[in-house]
A and B are shown apart, each in its own frame.
Chain A
Amino acid sequence: MNKLLTVSPSPHEYSKESTPKLMYGVVIALAPALLATIWFFGWAALLVTSVSVISCVIFEYLIQKFILKKEPSIKDGSAIVTGLLLAFCLPTNLPLGLVILGSLVAIGVGKMTFGGLGNNPFNPALVGRVFLFLSFPVQMTTWPVPKGFNTSFSDAITGATPLSVLNENYEKMPVDQVMNDPELSMPGYSQLFWGEMGGSLGEIAAFALILGLAYMLIRKIITWHIPVSILLTVAVFTGILWLANPEANADPLYHLMTGGLLLGAIFMATDYVSSPMSKKGMIIYGVGIGIITVLIRRFGAYPEGVQFAILIMNAFTPLINNYIKPSRFGEEVKNG
């Protein structure tokens, strides 16, 4: 019985969880939303998504291999998630050159300059999206009207998003009137839920996003803390505004189901790297995102504020991690 044995410190047992499994889990959670967008916007949606994902992966590979000169880690799936999320906040008729440029900024500036996976302070997909939004505002806010598979890629019919219509008309006429104006053709709740409205790829179908959330919660990829605290805060804040002055404000449900709120709350704000790590920290972060979102939507210049709200709170994440600690065992002695 003379054998060379492996000696290592405990534990000797490991869970089956791994970084790639978590990342591909997010990809699976995004699948319903992807299918929904293809249904509403046709093949153009698939084209934009594919270009975004492939260019994110290629940029990550090239930067790691030739600039950082280390072993490329594209297999971990994080670049695929970034590519999907970036595509989901773009209009389907965005010129493909801009999609590729957005991917370069997302991966190159948003992720790799900080040292790659695990080190980026901001959500890379949002960095790419905001870069495009500020640099190419016209192209980025020209939303095609969904016509299913008849939506051709070159369609530049501008169907304004419900939030931008609201934003333009806040001071001009009561919200009720905006909602029912046949010329403005605002979508109703069921249209919002099933995705029949103008908007970016991933923001249009609430049910598909909620399905993704359910999957991620069941697989324990994320916990409820961030999405629920964001959505609740938005509901409460817009609810107060609405109750105070129903003439000038849309109701909370409308706010929850429009814009990129669900996409942001479920998939963007929950990005592991750029969100706080303790449960208490997550809730503070979520409440912050909710408040900033409503402030921008209602009182700011832009009709939608989720992406800025998330980026602003991303910047607070290290501070939150530093000061908000989980309650330690034996800290407060509760006997009874």
Chain B
Amino acid sequence: MEENFHIRMINISKSFDKNKVLENFNLNIKKGEFITILGPSGCGKTTTLNLLAGFIFSEKGEIWIGDNEVSNIPSHKRGASMVFQNYALFPHMTVYDNVAFGLKIRKLSKNIIVKKVDELLTLVGLEFIKYKDRYPHQLSGGEQQRISLARALVIDPEILLLDEPLSNLDAKLRNNMRVEIKNIQEKLGITTIYVTHDQEEALALSDRIALLNNGEIEQIATPKQIYNSPNSKFVADFIGHSNFIIGKISEILQDKAIIKIFDNLDIHTDLSSFMKKNKQVTLIIRDENIVISNNKIIGENVFEGEVDSSLYLGPFQRIYVRVGEVTLTVYCKAEQLRKTPIKGESIFVQLERNQLMILPGELDIDSSQT
């Protein structure tokens, strides 16, 4: 198993003052993989990146890059290259000197350097002649980020680290750059670790996502798996918009379970191994998976509710529906309903059984849901 992984972080512990950021942290990354470390602020994702780069050192544990254990090797000897959120281009050097920096240190001949700089600038979509003598402060954010990428890649690093590289760009530019980064990464096949707090970015770019919470990996899986099969409330809550409904298992039948939500609400779900009668469970269903209609729906788990409020979002809308004591958030196309729902209007929702995720226990709902 071990030979398959390009990067291995084994039992890493790192504290700052008395604050334990990572404890017995383990992460394995395959060669050529694009993995994103995702999580809220303070979860330890930047610390992980800094440990890999060699800017900080762990108290315990090992870091393997390829066949080398690198935890004692300083950053300028590790072969890990990094792209920073604020680009970190050397302001007193031209674009050419910036990109050539790493090559000059490696004492390559001038001809080779010029050739490589040209190659990389072209790879990131910038014309060599036009840009080589410009200074960073003369360029836009997008151009600076591309140069930053070129500079990081020109030295043929073993691994590429990116620390929220697109956070400083506006939305449209960010989307474009995402595609470019992904394309370049696939073309070069370089093992890449990407840190971000933007889940959309993580879902779009990654081969795998590692979702971090307080220094622990809550789930590490492909984007599809993480989205459709979150293994904890935290994951379900962090990625996408979900409804959380607490209930008690009232009956277990051959092909389904019946969950009681308050007195008059029963939801039928698939069976799960942990289910026992009278056990508390939390049902999770994504906003976009709830079926909604003005007319009565035929099927299982259909409820009539009252519209609380709605938000028009252009091609989509978000509708808040009260069903008994529960308020559900529904996300659907604008043309789904006859007209814009009004407060107090009667409406029908369906929670299809195969869209319901069930987790044991009464997991408290926090306001980050909205």
Q: Do A and B come from one complex?
A: no
Q: Interface of B with A (CB < 8 Å)?
A: none
Instruction: Report A's interface with B, CB cutoff 8 A.
Output: none
